[in-house]
Structure 1
Amino acid sequence: MDRQLALDVGNAIGELVAIDWKDRNSGWTEFMRIKVKIDVLKLLRRVVRMVEKTGEEKIGLIKYERLLDFCYACGVIGHTMKTCMNNKEDAGSNASNFQFGS
């Protein structure tokens, strides 16, 4: 992962605000932490798709940190599962069935 990839991923998610490199040298790392301004009225993205120069498609998983009230059932910020209007509680549902986990 390099600086250009961080820019591309950040801009695909929302408005890129900052890049925090693990090694602080803006070089290749195992992961990158980016700060992105997003529209909280929309669902959070769970993956970002990238196409390499060879044409091969790669999928990167996105993890979020320090979210405010977040609904793991519908993926929207601003409420929790307890108050979610989209959460159809049924007897077989548990945290592992939801699209949005840790």
Structure 2
Amino acid sequence: MVLGEAIRGGKLADMEFHFAPFWVKMYNLPLECWSKDVGFIPGGLIGQVKEVDIGVSGNFLGRYLRVIIIVDVLKPLKRGLAVAIGDDEEECSMLLCYERLPNFCYYCRRIGHLARECLENVKGLSNL
């Protein structure tokens, strides 16, 4: 279920109920990306970044950068990102891990159903 904020004077028909916030962990980031400001750049490739978690001490402790991103739940989720970083624009591959996803199909990468219920899964693969 996706909820939306009501706007005074707005119409229900004009509201969009397909954007939801999710915590996303980004692994394999280069050291240049371990700052609050730079955390918005790779997160912006997934959706609208609401917050970058810098931890209690503010030192980004851990092996990943954690951000809240507003995701379009009608589109397939990205599993990773390839981003050019630094002056030499060396490409970096980042792995994405979404926290607490509801029913998620590993076949079509969409939220709202499982692989065994997927209409795109014509072979009936359930062990994805």
Superposed pair shares fold, TM > 0.5: yes
The gaps in structure 2 that reach 5 residues or longer are: 1-33
Partner in structure 2 of residue 30 of structure 1? 63
Distance 1:94 1:85 in 2: 12
Which structure has more relative contact order (CA 8 Å, sep 6+)? It is: 2
Give the partner amino acid of 2:38.
L
Please identify which structure carries the higher strand content: 2
Partner in structure 2 of residue 83 of structure 1? 117
Percent identity for Structure 1 against Structure 2: 29
**TM value normalised by structure 2:** 0.64
Distance 1:23 1:50 in 2: 27
**TM value normalised by structure 1:** 0.78
Partner in structure 2 of residue 46 of structure 1? 79
Question: What are the superposed Cα offsets for residues 45-87 of structure 1, whole Å, 9 maximum, x if unpaired?
Answer: 1111211221211111111111111101110001111211011
Alignment of 1:1-102 (within 5 A): 1-22=34-55, 24-26=57-59, 30-52=63-85, 53-89=87-123, 93=125, 95=127, 98=128
Give the partner amino acid of 1:19.
V
Distance 1:30 1:22 in 2: 12
The structure number with the bigger radius of gyration is: 2
Distance 1:45 1:85 in 2: 19
Give the secondary-structure state (helix, strand or coil) at the position aligned to 2:40: helix
Question: Runs in 1 of length 4+ with deviation above 6 angstroms?
Answer: none
